[in-house]
């Protein structure tokens, strides 16, 4: 399929990936069940903030190893269906795990084991999705637009899941929660049956999809200079010691808000990314990616400073909007950079490495933030905010290290060879 044909098929490509992205990020265990399980631990098992942070850190171990699942995706062809076969196999398996959890005894160990296995099974579904969207984005010269689609269509269900978490915590039993998660997860398998020509015709035959032997691929990945700035930038962007558990405890214990209000805050913060993510999608076909990368980072570095002025639950809700909007373009720009930096034939491997490091950064920084928060009853949360802004500032010098050929074009233009 030629680039011209792919350009004409852009609406069909978007039509496939938009609902798939919405569904993947709605049912992913780390989003759908993150806050409900934290409330089970906090309210029913009376776990402390560090214990909940440790639970989140441990259950995300399969995400930290996502690089391995990406390698499996790039080399395994279940049922002869490639990415569709992975969806057909592992989405139902994840649903079965949720069913087992629905009828089990609620305990720290039981929740830890069940969530860990569910995360493990769903990694191959995510690997199939991430590898496929990155491959099609490179082949169709749509890295910026599909980055915009990924960010928009992933943040909206995350916001919905966070918003629903307060209702789930207060109105649904543990069994009802896991059975609902199982039913939603089964819907992913439906996409394994859909094969639109715009996405799948000759996709695995084009040069961007070609791999070689395992050792040669690993060597080629390590020698690909463009991956290192992309890895560091995305890692630092998601290293936010204060957004998760510390913010939850700060709002509920210090500001005396309800669990539902914290869920409202997280939902509003997340959905506020969307307007500026869409702005990036508009600008990326008109402005070179390098210019957008710098502008997005400069706007995003002070993103969390408004939290220093949140002294009530209502003021925290108000601060959520400008904070989200300041970070939206950076989310799209940094993911766009990751797709542009993928070596051929290793889209699943590299994008799952990016996902793994994002999760490790978020979970690890959540644990660090919990320790910082607990270190000072009066000022711990403010220290967390300062730590986040300091980490974000480290992104700026790394942008200068990005190879110029990677970011020299607008979306839709073929990149010059390195």
Q: Does residue 416 sit within a domain?
A: no
pLDDT at position 34 over 90: no
Give the closest residue to 254 by CA, choosing from 80, 380, 69. 380
User: Which pLDDT band, with edges at 50, 70 and 90, does 415 fall under?
Assistant: low
Q: Does residue 415 sit within a domain?
A: no
Q: Does residue 174 sit within a domain?
A: yes
- The larger pLDDT score, comparing residue 389 to residue 315, is at 389
Give the closest residue to 334 by CA, choosing from 236, 408, 413. 236
What confidence tens digit (pLDDT) does each residue in 360-370 have? 888 788 888 88
Which H/E stretch holds residue 276? helix 274-283
Q: Does residue 155 sit within a domain?
A: yes
Q: Say which DSSP state 310 is in.
A: -
Q: Does residue 389 sit within a domain?
A: yes
* Predicted pLDDT at 4: 45
What confidence tens digit (pLDDT) does each residue in 44-69 have? 888 877 788 788 888 888 888 888 99
Q: Does residue 412 sit within a domain?
A: no
| 380-393 burial code (b ≥16 CB/10 A, e <16) | bbbbbbbbbeebbe
* Predicted pLDDT at 398: 96
| Global pTM value | 0.82
* Burial of 45 from C-beta contacts in 10 A (0-12 / 13-18 / 19+): middle
Angle between helices 313-340 and 289-300 (to 10 degrees): 150
What confidence tens digit (pLDDT) does each residue in 158-172 have? 777 767 776 777 778
**Mean of pLDDT over the chain:** 86
User: Which pLDDT band, with edges at 50, 70 and 90, does 211 fall under?
Assistant: low
38: domain CATH number? 1.20.1250.20
Beta-strand (E) ranges in 134-263? none
pLDDT at position 148 over 70: yes
What confidence tens digit (pLDDT) does each residue in 245-271 have? 788 888 878 787 777 777 788 878 888
The arithmetic mean of pLDDT across residues 286-301, rounded, is 96
The arithmetic mean of pLDDT across residues 69-95, rounded, is 92
User: What's the domain count of the chain?
Assistant: 1
The backbone torsions φ and ψ at residue 9, rounded to the nearest 5 degrees and listed phi first, read: -90, 10
Its domain, for residue 119, covers 3-406
71-85, 144-158, 258-272: the lowest-pLDDT one:
258-272
Q: Does residue 413 sit within a domain?
A: no
* Neighbour tally for 155: CB within 10 Å: 22
pLDDT at position 212 over 70: no
Q: Does residue 414 sit within a domain?
A: no
């Amino acid at each position: 399929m030629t680039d011209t044909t792919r350009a004409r098929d852009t609406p069909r490509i978007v039509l496939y990936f938009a609902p798939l992205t919405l569904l993947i990020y709605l049912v992913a265990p780390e989003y759908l069940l993150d806050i409900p399980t934290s409330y089970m631990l906090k309210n029913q098992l009376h776990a402390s903030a560090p214990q909940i942070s440790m639970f989140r850190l441990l259950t995300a171990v399969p995400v930290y190893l996502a690089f391995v699942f990406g390698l499996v995706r790039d080399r395994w062809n279940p049922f002869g269906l490639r990415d569709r076969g992975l969806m057909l196999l592992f989405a139902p398996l994840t649903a079965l795990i949720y069913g087992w959890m629905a009828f089990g005894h609620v305990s720290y160990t039981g929740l830890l084991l069940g969530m860990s296995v569910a995360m493990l099974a769903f990694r191959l579904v995510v690997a199939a999705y991430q590898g496929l969207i990155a491959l099609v984005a490179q082949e169709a010269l749509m890295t910026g637009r599909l980055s915009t689609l990924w960010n928009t269509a992933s943040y909206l269900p995350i916001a919905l899941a966070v918003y629903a978490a307060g209702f789930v915590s207060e109105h649904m039993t543990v069994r009802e929660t896991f059975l609902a998660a199982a039913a939603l997860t089964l819907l992913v398998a439906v996409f394994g049956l859909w094969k639109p020509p715009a996405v799948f015709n000759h996709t695995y035959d084009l040069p961007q999809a070609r791999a070689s032997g395992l050792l040669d691929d690993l060597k080629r990945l390590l020698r690909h200079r463009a991956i290192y700035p992309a890895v560091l930038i995305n890692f630092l962007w998601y290293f936010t010691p204060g957004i998760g558990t510390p913010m939850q405890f700060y709002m509920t214990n210090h500001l005396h808000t309800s669990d539902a209000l914290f869920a409202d805050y997280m939902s509003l913060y997340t959905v506020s990314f969307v307007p500026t993510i869409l702005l990036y999608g508009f600008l990326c076909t008109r402005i070179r990616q390098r210019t957008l990368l710098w502008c997005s980072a400069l706007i995003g570095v002070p993103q969390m400073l408004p939290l220093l002025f949140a002294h009530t639950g209502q003021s925290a809700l108000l601060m959520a909007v400008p904070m989200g909007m300041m970070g939206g373009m950076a989310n799209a720009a940094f993911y766009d950079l990751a797709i542009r930096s993928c070596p051929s034939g290793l889209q699943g491997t590299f994008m799952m490495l990016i996902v793994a490091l994002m999760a490790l950064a978020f979970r690890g920084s959540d644990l660090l933030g919990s320790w910082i928060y607990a270190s000072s009853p009066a000022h711990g949360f403010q220290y967390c905010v300062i730590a986040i802004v300091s980490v974000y500032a480290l992104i700026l010098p790394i942008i200068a290290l990005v190879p110029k050929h990677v970011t020299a074009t607008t979306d839709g233009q073929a990149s010059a060879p390195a």
